[in-house]
Amino acid sequence: MIPLQGCFYGFQAGAGFPDHVRTVAIIPFDNTTTRPEITDEVFNLLLREFPRSQGLQPAGADVADAMVTGTITRYDVSTPSYRAAGGVNEAPQVLQRQVNLTVEVQIINLVDNEILWESRGISVQGEYLEESESEDTGRALAIELLIQRIVDGAQSNW
């Protein structure tokens, strides 16, 4: 009988920022859409979730080791699911709508003045039921998905 030997294999996804990066500034994103409220909604959730998820402390841009900045480039609402009209005088029935949100993001190491991670087009969709939910529901879901994609992207780089 052949003795079994242990296999020592490890995988660590998202090992974190470089050791000297301990603080991060979250800058409100520029916004080229017609929805100014999105800036604050993205900023507030990103400020709450990003530093914690990366093991960093929030700080002002003048003293931070890293900075997250970006631009909101698209916000619109579409209708991915509807029921076609049944008759000549009947309108189609909207079943579901979705908020489409696209951003560009950069995470910059301010100590070494280098880009740690960037994405020129993170697109997310927040779906909501036309009959029982509002656009606010879809927008909140889209923003949550956006923040998760930024966190995942930051962790995938090292």
Which residues, in sequence order, are CB contacts of 57 under 8 Å at separation 6+?
A: 22, 23, 24, 51
Percent of the chain past pLDDT 70, that is, above it, reads: 86
Q: What is the reported pLDDT for 122?
A: 97
Q: Tokens 């480039």 identify what position?
A: 73
Radius of gyration of the chain (CA): 21
Q: Tokens 């000549």 identify what position?
A: 88
Cα–Cα distance measured from residue 137 to residue 127, given in angstroms and rounded to the nearest whole number: 8
Q: What is the reported pLDDT for 84?
A: 73
Count of other CB atoms within 10 angstroms of residue 4: 6
Cβ contact 103:86 at 8 Å:
no
Q: Which stretches in the chain have pLDDT values below 50?
A: 1-14
Which residues, in sequence order, are CB contacts of 30 under 8 Å at separation 6+?
A: 70, 71, 72
Q: What is the reported pLDDT for 1?
A: 45
Which residues, in sequence order, are CB contacts of 144 under 8 Å at separation 6+?
A: 45, 126
Cβ contact 78:98 at 8 Å:
yes
- Six token digits for residue 94: 């909207």
pTM (predicted TM-score): 0.82
Q: What is the reported pLDDT for 16?
A: 66
Count of other CB atoms within 10 angstroms of residue 76: 12
